[in-house]
């Protein structure tokens, strides 16, 4: 064999080895795809725009820091106008064009609709805008992640705060007559009973209803110490508070996550003063030591970002951490393994998105803080420490 | 029975009914004159409320100027809609015109989202906030004052339809378009006038409703409740809109108070089904109504 032949064979072998290792390397560093059915228009657009911005920024920060263990995170959103059929169509489109590992859905209805398909595919973990209590079931929904406390847990956090502030207090629950609004009612009643609180006043309001004076009259008769609103963003909360105050009631009013955006509460005007509620995350403007993620967000966007933004950001962060755990464990990137990666998240430092280290419990992160609106500062300010539900 | 509570609920129901009545008036006017089932009535109300925001917040004009300006601009918008979208559809199948108004509703929602964004908003407070007591019974000030405005508008239209020349022309057009033409009535002008007036009434209704429940691009769903009211009252009856509005308002609030909020819609739509079975043309509607 001539020296040229040997050189040729060696070169060929090296080249083949190089190509193979390159291909293997490329395979190792395959993109992680985060698909999203995002409500950029329609009735939930106020949140969808923020969610989109939060996911986009979190993705950029992760990629700027080398991706997830070297894998680039790719975010593929589609607008859904908050319609389940459009969300499902977006899911089908995105999953047919990309090898999706993570997915963000826009509603409880979508999560419940698409969950069997996600389980069947076995390739991804699904998160989204829903904090529905029903989804917090690892057996029934083995590939779901709720980026915060469930609605029942949110009410639980408020009731824990109330029980400390005024033991035996009379608490009213006003909820919208929607799937979203009805979600925590039974759980809230059970928690109130456990905590020795009187929650005999439950009021539901019809969707699209305008006048709430009938419901306020019920509150006037019951004279609760606290009223918790759930299932609303803004209306009819201000009208409730306004009429209750005009009647001379001293009741304190509270809300859950989707009615806790600072700019939205600010739109209530003077009646916002003293409005309380539960928020799983810090606000954009929160001052906290050692909060590099909050600082980073503020450096990227110099104007206030909504609670929906924080939700989108936190979801992306947690899903990425789950993928990181899966890769580190040397496991295949599929739904069950990524979900197992989520379950491994214990005392995770969110860089200030949440003020204390967080752990995943079941499908959710049952932690939150009670805030109260300060009209003079025009800000929601902390009214409690972080409350963990165990 | 707590009679004070019962009477307070009744007052709230009548107040809510007044809002339904004035919104229904805008719907009935258009149907009566043009036979167009305007499914965009809720969105026209929403547009009126947003135009008010544009003047009162965007341009920081005082309320006394913002309300009439919003009403005038809404009237112009109504005229443009009639001339550019509805009139070319005259003579077309009723379903086609019906679908055009559904499309119009989506266009108005899109316009609002582009101009003002998708966030829910509150109107600036312009209704006195001191509670109203009738005897010992409480009435929400916003509902009370809104009812007073609604009652004045509906009453005014009931009168001018019988006395004003334009009102008579409109009634003549509604009765028989060909005969109205032959008597020298400018029927296309009547159509335009009706859309302008209806859009102005819708703007007033939108501002009143928005002052209570706030506004959002989703506010148009209120139009569905209005549709129930006008079907019960009779699609072409002004008096029917008034009476059915108050009736539906009372049914809704009593159902909400004594059965629970989840029964409000059930009660309203049960009433609708009952009325349609017993009087398919509504309580006060004309028998010849051609339904879709």
What SS3 string covers A289-322?
CCCHHHHHHHHHCCCCCCHHHHHHHHHHHHHHHH
Output the six-digit token pair for A44.
């939930």
Answer yes or no: do A206 and B261 touch at CB < 8 A: yes
Percent of chain B with pLDDT over 90: 55
pLDDT of residue B292: 52
Query: Domain for residue A6, yes or no?
Result: no
Residues sharing a CB contact under 8 Å with residue B203, sequence separation 6 or more, in sequence order: B44, B45, B47, B48, B49, B51, B52, B70, B71, B73, B74, B75
Nearest by CB to residue B261, choosing from A204, A221, A234, is A204
Q: Among A69-78, B87-96, B226-235, which stretch is predicted with the lowest mean pLDDT?
A: B87-96
Cβ distance B150 to B212 under 8 Å? no
- What's the mean per-residue pLDDT of chain B? 90
pLDDT over 60 (residue B71): yes
Query: Domain for residue A4, yes or no?
Result: no
Angle ∠(B193,B195,B199) on CA atoms, nearest 5: 120
Nearest by CB to residue B260, choosing from A42, A204, A269, is A204
Bigger pLDDT: B292 vs B247: B247
- Distance from the Cα of B183 to chain A's closest Cα (Å) equals 45
What number is the average pLDDT over the span B272-289?
A: 86
Nearest by CB to residue B118, choosing from A45, A235, A239, is A45
Q: Among A199-213, B69-83, B98-112, which stretch is predicted with the lowest mean pLDDT?
A: A199-213
Answer yes or no: do B140 and A45 touch at CB < 8 A: no
For position A168, which CATH number holds?
3.40.50.2300
A72 shares its domain with A191: no
pLDDT of residue A4: 56
Range of the domain at A200: 151-279+370-388
A274 shares its domain with A292: no
The three-state (H, E, C) secondary structure of B26-77, written as one string: HHHHHHHHHCCCCCCHHHHHHHHHHHHHHHHHHCCCCHHHHHHHHHHHHHHH
B222 neighbourhood in chain A, CB within 8 Å: 208, 210
A171 shares its domain with A296: no
In chain A, which residue's Cα lies nearest the Cα of B213?
A: A210
| Distance separating alpha carbons of residues A120 and A127, to the nearest angstrom | 16
Query: Domain for residue A19, yes or no?
Result: no
Query: Domain for residue A3, yes or no?
Result: no
Cβ distance B254 to A213 under 8 Å? no
Q: Is the ipTM of this complex over 0.85?
A: no
How many domains, in total, are found in chain A?
2
Q: Which of these, A211, A221, A223, lies nearest to A252 by C-alpha position?
A: A223
Query: Domain for residue A339, yes or no?
Result: yes
Q: Among A10-14, A249-253, B114-118, B177-181, which stretch is predicted with the lowest mean pLDDT?
A: A10-14
A36 shares its domain with A99: yes
For domain B15-278, give its CATH number from 3.30.450, 1.10.3110, 1.10.3470, 1.10.357. Answer: 1.10.3470
Answer yes or no: do B120 and A243 touch at CB < 8 A: no
Domain parsing of chain B, residue ranges? 15-278
Q: Inform me whether the C-beta atom of residue B173 falls under 8 Å from chain A C-beta atoms.
A: no
Note down pLDDT in tens along chain A; length 390 residues: 555 566 566 555 544 454 444 444 444 689 999 999 999 988 888 899 999 999 999 999 999 999 999 999 999 999 999 999 999 999 999 999 999 999 999 999 999 999 999 999 999 999 999 999 999 999 999 999 999 999 999 999 999 999 999 999 999 999 998 888 999 999 999 999 999 999 999 999 987 677 888 899 999 999 999 999 999 989 899 999 999 998 889 999 999 999 999 999 999 999 999 999 999 999 999 998 889 999 999 999 999 999 999 999 999 999 999 999 999 999 999 999 999 999 999 999 999 999 999 999 999 999 999 999 999 999 999 999 999 987
* Strand partners of residue A234: A236
Residue A2: how many other CB atoms lie within 10 Å = 7
Query: Domain for residue A17, yes or no?
Result: no
Give the SS3 label for residue B89.
helix
A80 shares its domain with A125: yes
A156 shares its domain with A114: no
- Tens digits of per-residue pLDDT, B124-160? 988 888 888 888 888 888 889 989 998 999 889 888 8
pLDDT of residue B172: 86
Confidence band of B106 (pLDDT split at 50, 70, 90): very high
B119 neighbourhood in chain A, CB within 8 Å: 46, 263-264, 267
A275 shares its domain with A343: no
Cα B262 off chain centre by: 24
pLDDT of residue A9: 63
A79 shares its domain with A156: no
Answer yes or no: do A238 and B140 touch at CB < 8 A: no
- Distance from the Cα of A350 to chain B's closest Cα (Å) equals 28
A180 shares its domain with A292: no
Nearest by CB to residue A235, choosing from B15, B213, B224, is B213
Cβ distance A131 to A106 under 8 Å? no
């Amino acid at each position: 064999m001539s020296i040229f032949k040997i050189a040729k064979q060696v070169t060929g072998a090296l080249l083949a080895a190089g190509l193979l290792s390159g291909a293997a390397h490329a395979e190792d560093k395959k993109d992680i795809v985060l698909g999203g059915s995002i409500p950029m228009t329609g009735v939930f657009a106020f949140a969808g725009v923020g969610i989109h911005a939060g996911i986009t920024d979190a993705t950029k920060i992760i990629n700027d820091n080398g991706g997830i263990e070297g894998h680039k995170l790719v975010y593929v959103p589609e607008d859904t106008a908050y319609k389940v059929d459009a969300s499902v169509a977006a899911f089908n489109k995105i999953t047919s064009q990309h090898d999706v590992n993570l997915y963000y859905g826009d509603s409880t209805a979508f999560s419940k609709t698409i969950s069997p398909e996600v389980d069947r595919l076995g390739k991804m973990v699904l998160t989204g805008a829903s904090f529905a209590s029903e989804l917090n079931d690892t057996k029934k929904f083995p590939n779901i992640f709720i980026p915060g406390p469930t609605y029942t847990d949110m009410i639980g956090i408020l009731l824990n705060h109330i029980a400390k502030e005024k033991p035996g207090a009379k608490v009213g629950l006003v909820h919208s007559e929607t799937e979203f609004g009805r979600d925590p009612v039974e759980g809230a009643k059970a928690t109130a009973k456990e905590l020795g609180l009187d929650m005999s006043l439950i009021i539901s309001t019809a969707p699209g209803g305008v006048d709430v004076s009938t419901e306020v009259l019920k509150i006037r008769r019951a004279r609760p110490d606290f009223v918790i609103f759930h299932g609303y963003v803004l209306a009819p909360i201000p009208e409730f508070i306004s009429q209750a105050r005009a009647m001379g009631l001293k009741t304190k009013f509270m809300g859950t996550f989707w009615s806790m955006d600072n700019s939205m509460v600010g739109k209530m005007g003077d009646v916002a003063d003293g409005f309380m509620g539960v928020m799983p995350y810090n606000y954009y403007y929160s001052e906290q030591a050692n909060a590099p993620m909050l600082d980073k967000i503020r450096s990227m966007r110099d104007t206030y970002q909504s609670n929906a933004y924080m939700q989108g950001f936190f979801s992306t962060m947690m899903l990425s951490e789950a993928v990181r755990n899966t890769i580190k464990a040397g496991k295949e990137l599929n739904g069950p393994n990524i979900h197992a990666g989520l379950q491994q998240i214990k005392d995770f430092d969110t860089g200030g998105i949440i003020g204390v280290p967080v752990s995943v419990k079941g499908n959710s992160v049952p932690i939150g803080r009670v805030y109260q609106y300060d009209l003079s500062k025009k800000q929601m300010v902390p009214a409690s420490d972080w409350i963990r539900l165990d | 029975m707590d009679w004070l509570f019962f009477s307070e609920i009744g007052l709230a129901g009548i107040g809510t009914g007044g809002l339904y009545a004035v919104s229904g008036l805008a719907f009935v006017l258009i149907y009566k004159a043009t036979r167009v089932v305007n499914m965009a009535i809720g969105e026209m109300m929403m547009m009126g409320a947003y135009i008010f925001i544009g003047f009162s917040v965007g341009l920081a004009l005082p309320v006394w100027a913002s309300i009439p300006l919003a009403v005038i601009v809404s009237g112009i918008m109504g005229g443009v809609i009639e001339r550019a979208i509805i009139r070319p559809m005259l003579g077309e199948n009723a379903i086609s015109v019906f679908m055009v108004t559904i499309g119009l509703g989506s266009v108005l929602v899109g316009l609002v989202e582009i101009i003002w964004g998708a966030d829910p908003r509150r109107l600036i407070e312009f209704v006195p906030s001191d509670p109203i007591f009738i005897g010992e019974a409480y009435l929400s000030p916003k509902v009370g004052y809104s009812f007073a405005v609604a009652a004045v508008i509906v009453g005014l239209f009931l009168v001018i339809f019988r006395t004003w020349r334009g009102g008579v022309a409109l009634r003549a057009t509604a009765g028989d378009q060909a005969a109205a033409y032959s008597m020298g009535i400018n029927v296309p002008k009547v159509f335009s006038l009706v859309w302008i007036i209806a859009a102005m009434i819708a703007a007033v209704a939108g501002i009143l409703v928005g002052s209570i429940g706030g506004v959002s691009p989703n506010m148009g769903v209120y139009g569905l409740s209005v549709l129930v009211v006008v079907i019960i009252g009779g699609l072409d009856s002004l008096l029917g809109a008034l009476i059915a509005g108050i009736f539906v308002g009372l049914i809704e609030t009593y159902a909400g108070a004594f059965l629970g909020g989840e029964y409000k819609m059930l009660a309203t739509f049960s009433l609708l089904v009952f009325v349609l079975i017993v009087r398919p043309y509504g309580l006060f509607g004309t028998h010849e109504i051609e339904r879709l």
